[in-house]
C-alpha cells in the first residue's frame, strides 16, 4: 500500500475480504481478532481484557488494522507490520504490538536497545509475561549485563506456565541459566544440577545434553 494514499475503513474491509476471505464488520471485528488467537490462550485472554477495557476507544477501523497487523506479523512482513503499527498508534497501547516490534527490532534490524525498550513496555502492558522475560534475558545477555539476564531467565522459568509453550520456554530458559553459571560464575556444580533437572523433565533435550557433554569434557 502506498503511503500517499488515504485508506478508509472500507478499503481495509475490502482488503481483508480479498486476501483472507473474512467479512469483517462492526458487529464481528472483536470475534475476528479473537479467532486469530485460537490456540494461544494467554494472548486470547489478553486481547479479551484489552478490548473490554478500551471498548470506548476501539472501533471497526482498529479491528481492521489490528487484523492486518496480526496477519503481517504472522507472515513476518516487516514493512506491513510497520505500516499498520503507525496507523494503530492513535489507539491505546497494546502488548502484542510492542512485543512484535521488539522482535522485529532485534531479529531484523539488530537495534538491541530499541528492542529492549519495546519488550520492557510489553511487560508493563502484560505483567509477568514469560515470553517478555525470556526475550529480555536474551537481550541483557547480548548487552553483557549478565546478572539482569539471569534475573529475567529465572522469571521466565517462574512464569512459564502462563506461556503458550510452557515446557519449551521453561527448558530453554533453564538451559540459559545453566550456561550463565558455567560462563559467568564458573559454578560448574550448580550448572550440572540444572542441566540434570532439565534432562529429568526431557531426557532428549539436545541442548542440555550437548552442554552437559561439554561440561564433563572440560571438567
Partner 1 sequence: MENQAKEKSVWLPNQLSAVKLFLDQVEFSINESYEQLDGKTLYEYTIIHNDNSGILKILPELKNSPILEEYNRMLPLDKTEFLYQSAYKKTGGVLNLFHGEINESMDSELKELFRKNEDKNKAIKIWKDTKSELWSSLSPKLVWAGGGKLEKELLLQFCGKLTDMMQGKKFHTQGSAIIKSMEYLRAWQLAYDEICSDNPMNAIIKEREEIYNRKIKFLKEMNIECDF
CA distance 31 to 71: 15
For the CB of residue 101, give the shortest distance to partner 1 in the complex, in Å: 13
Q: What is the rounded (10 degree) CA torsion for 106, 109, 111, 114?
A: -70
Considering only residues 77 through 106, tell me which ones interact with partner 1, judged by CB under 8 A. Answer: 105-106
Question: Binding residue for partner 1 (CB under 8 A) from 184, 201, 210, 213?
Answer: 184
One symbol per residue from 104 to 123: x for binding partner 1 (CB under 8 A), - otherwise; what is it? Answer: -xxxxxxxxx----------
DSSP secondary structure letters along the chain = --TTS---HHHHHHHHHHHH-----TTTHHHHHHHHTTT-HHHHHHHHHHHHHTGGG--HHHHHHHHHHHHHHHTT-HHHHHHHHHHHTTSPP-HHHHHHHHHHIIIII--HHHHHHHHHHHHHHSTT-HHHHHHHHHHHHHTT-HHHHHHHHHHHHHTGGGSSSHHHHHHHHHHHHHHHHHHTS--HHHHHHHHHHHHHH-TT-HHHHHHHHHHHHH-
One symbol per residue from 138 to 177: x for binding partner 1 (CB under 8 A), - otherwise; what is it? Answer: --xxxxxxx-x-----------------------------
For the CB of residue 126, give the shortest distance to partner 1 in the complex, in Å: 21
The answer to whether 175 touches 198, Cβ cutoff 8 Å, is yes
Nearer to partner 1, 88 or 139 (CB): 139
Nearer to partner 1, 92 or 110 (CB): 110
The answer to whether 174 touches 149, Cβ cutoff 8 Å, is no
For the CB of residue 57, give the shortest distance to partner 1 in the complex, in Å: 29
For the CB of residue 107, give the shortest distance to partner 1 in the complex, in Å: 5
Number of residues that bind partner 1 (CB under 8 A): 19
One symbol per residue from 27 to 66: x for binding partner 1 (CB under 8 A), - otherwise; what is it? Answer: ----------------------------------------
For the CB of residue 205, give the shortest distance to partner 1 in the complex, in Å: 20
Stretch that binds partner 1, among 32-40, 50-58, 64-72, 136-144 (CB under 8 A): 136-144
Provide the binding-site residues for partner 1, judged by CB under 8 A: 105-113, 140-146, 148, 183-184
Amino acid at each position: 500500500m502506498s503511503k500517499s494514499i488515504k485508506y478508509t475503513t472500507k478499503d481495509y474491509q475490502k482488503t481483508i475480504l480479498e486476501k483472507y476471505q473474512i467479512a469483517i464488520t462492526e458487529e464481528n471485528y472483536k470475534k475476528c481478532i479473537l479467532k486469530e488467537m485460537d490456540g494461544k490462550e494467554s494472548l486470547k485472554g489478553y486481547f479479551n481484557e484489552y478490548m473490554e477495557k478500551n471498548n470506548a476507544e476501539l472501533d471497526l477501523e482498529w479491528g481492521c488494522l489490528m487484523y492486518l497487523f496480526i496477519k503481517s506479523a504472522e507472515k513476518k512482513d516487516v514493512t506491513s507490520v510497520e505500516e499498520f503499527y503507525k496507523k494503530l498508534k492513535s489507539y491505546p497501547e497494546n502488548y502484542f504490538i510492542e512485543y512484535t516490534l521488539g522482535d522485529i527490532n532485534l531479529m531484523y534490524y539488530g537495534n538491541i536497545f530499541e528492542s529492549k525498550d519495546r519488550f520492557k513496555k510489553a511487560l508493563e502492558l502484560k505483567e509477568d509475561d514469560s515470553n517478555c522475560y525470556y526475550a529480555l534475558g536474551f537481550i541483557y545477555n547480548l548487552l553483557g549485563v549478565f546478572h539482569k539476564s539471569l534475573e529475567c531467565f529465572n522469571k521466565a522459568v517462574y512464569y512459564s506456565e502462563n506461556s503458550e509453550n510452557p515446557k519449551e520456554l521453561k527448558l530453554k530458559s533453564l538451559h540459559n541459566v545453566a550456561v550463565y553459571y558455567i560462563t559467568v560464575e564458573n559454578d560448574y556444580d550448580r550448572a550440572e544440577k540444572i542441566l540434570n533437572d532439565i534432562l529429568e523433565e526431557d531426557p532428549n533435550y539436545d541442548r542440555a545434553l550437548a552442554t552437559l557433554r561439554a561440561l564433563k569434557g572440560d571438567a
